[in-house]
A and B are shown apart, each in its own frame.
Chain A
């Protein structure tokens, strides 16, 4: 069974940093890309970035480039999302998702999702 299990809810003060995780199991970790998606309270889904666990090739949405960092640890089949200099506007649910990418370039779809990690930024 394919599972993406994310780390638990977090509360941070403004200006702090945070790294949340997405543990993959039930499939060959390097055969699929992993993406991070943001959903602010009451709003829609936003593509943040996607990483190829095989070679750590990472593509960021222009809206998030330089604001976040995506990484993987193949040895423990886990992907990470690093959020720096947190602001109140970073308060959101963050989802990881498994992506099918053809020929290393053509993104097709997300077939499995994590349960989401709620991040609250508040003084």
Chain B
């Protein structure tokens, strides 16, 4: 099972928006609504920010939103803030054998 493809980096100024793509195949992203996104700050555990393509857990600001089209899922961060800087990873369900696969990760710079 190959990792999902994310751009290595993305950047924006405070207040701007940034979008991160997560490209898979018809066997993972394209076939299921189970895409989630995680934010990781240096030296910390990842934190869930989006699940099931576009749902936000309690406590996650509505500046974070998710979507999916075909084999590509996307995370958009609107109104960028300094604390949004970090690494972002997607995961997709990939069937009962592989179960789950991570994206390659994107470093967001504000």
Closest to A110 in B: B48
Contact residues in A for B38 (Cβ distance below 8 Å): 45, 110
Contact residues in A for B104 (Cβ distance below 8 Å): 44
Contact residues in A for B34 (Cβ distance below 8 Å): 106-109
Q: Are A44 and B102 in contact (CB under 8 A)?
A: yes
Closest to B94 in A: A107
Q: Are A45 and B101 in contact (CB under 8 A)?
A: no
Q: Compute how far the CA of A110 lies from the CA of B102 in the bound complex, rounded to whole angstroms.
A: 12
Q: Are B51 and A108 in contact (CB under 8 A)?
A: yes
Beta-carbon contacts under 8 Å, B91-109 to A: 91, 93, 96-105
| A interface bracket (residues with beta carbon within 8 Å of B) | 20 to 34
B1 interface residue per 8 A CB criterion: yes
Number of A-B pairs, beta carbon distance below 8 Å? 72
Q: How many residues of chain B are within 8 Å of chain A by beta carbon?
A: 28
Contact residues in A for B45 (Cβ distance below 8 Å): 95, 113-116
Contact residues in A for B99 (Cβ distance below 8 Å): 47, 50, 59, 61, 107
Q: Are B46 and A50 in contact (CB under 8 A)?
A: no
Beta-carbon contacts under 8 Å, A5-52 to B: 35, 37, 44-47, 50
Q: A44-B89, A47-B91, A61-B1 are in contact. Are A109 and B101 (CB under 8 A)?
A: no
Hey, which bits of chain B sit against chain A, CB under 8 A?
Answer: 1, 3, 32, 34, 36, 38, 40, 45-48, 51-52, 57, 87, 89, 91, 93, 96-105
Closest 10 A/B residue pairs (Cβ): A109-B36, A109-B51, A113-B45, A44-B105, A59-B99, A107-B93, A45-B102, A107-B100, A47-B100, A108-B34
